[in-house]
């Protein structure tokens, strides 16, 4: 059984949100909620914070505009990125999480990741990871919008030699060649 994980991209601040809650109502509408913020009485006597009326000693739960953020899901497999290919910052984040270098086995692949191969002189892009409702699975979609069954992700076997080379949220310029 695969691990269910999500990430949230904030379109306004152009960054990944580190801590959040996702609320889904009865109609299937999703709202991204940020962590609770406690306003102690010594800080404020009440007023407005981030567009919300707050009273002293209250707890507020701010949210992101659903039209200005993107929720993406982990597809359950990891890419072929080696420890040595990580930036020092990425290595530090991994080690600070309590894990060791020996436990590294690739980056988690999410919807919107651009997968390809990194060669000595160039990057070859295979496609963008997308969920296809009509097929009920994740696929790699090339720049012409073409998918084949070999691009289907079931257990990651077909994608095990690919690496995350970009992300459509962090690197929107990648999308200029895609439909």
Distance in angstroms (rounded) separating the CA atoms of residues 78 and 127: 16
Distance of CA 70 to the CA centre of its chain: 8
Q: What pLDDT is recorded for position 33? A: 66
Question: Which domains occur in the chain, in start order?
Answer: 6-69 (no CATH), 79-177 (2.30.30.290)
Q: What is the pLDDT along the chain (179 residues), one digit of tens a residue?
A: 677 888 889 888 898 887 777 766 677 666 666 665 544 444 444 444 444 444 544 555 566 777 788 888 998 889 999 999 999 999 999 999 999 999 999 999 999 999 988 776 777 888 899 888 887 888 888 888 777 655 556 556 677 788 999 999 998 887 776 65
CB burial of residue 39 (10 Å; 0-12, 13-18, 19+): middle
Q: What pLDDT is recorded for position 156? A: 62
Q: What pLDDT is recorded for position 88? A: 96
pTM greater than 0.85 (yes/no): no
């Amino acid at each position: 059984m695969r691990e269910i994980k999500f990430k949230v991209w904030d379109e306004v601040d152009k960054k990944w949100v580190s801590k959040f809650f996702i609320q889904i109502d009865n109609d299937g509408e999703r709202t991204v909620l940020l962590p609770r913020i406690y306003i102690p009485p010594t800080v404020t006597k009440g007023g407005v914070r981030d567009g919300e009326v707050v009273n002293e000693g209250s707890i507020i739960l701010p949210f992101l505009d659903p039209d200005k953020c993107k929720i993406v899901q982990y597809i359950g497999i990891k890419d072929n990125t080696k420890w040595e290919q990580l930036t020092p910052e990425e290595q530090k984040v991994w080690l600070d999480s309590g894990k060791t270098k020996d436990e590294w086995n690739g980056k988690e692949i999410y919807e919107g990741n651009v997968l390809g191969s990194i060669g000595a002189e160039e990057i070859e892009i295979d496609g963008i990871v997308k969920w296809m409702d009509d097929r009920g699975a994740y696929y790699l979609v090339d720049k012409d919008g073409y998918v084949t069954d070999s691009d289907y992700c079931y257990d990651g076997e077909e994608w095990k030699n690919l690496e995350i080379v970009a992300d459509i949220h962090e690197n929107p310029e990648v999308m200029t060649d895609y439909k």
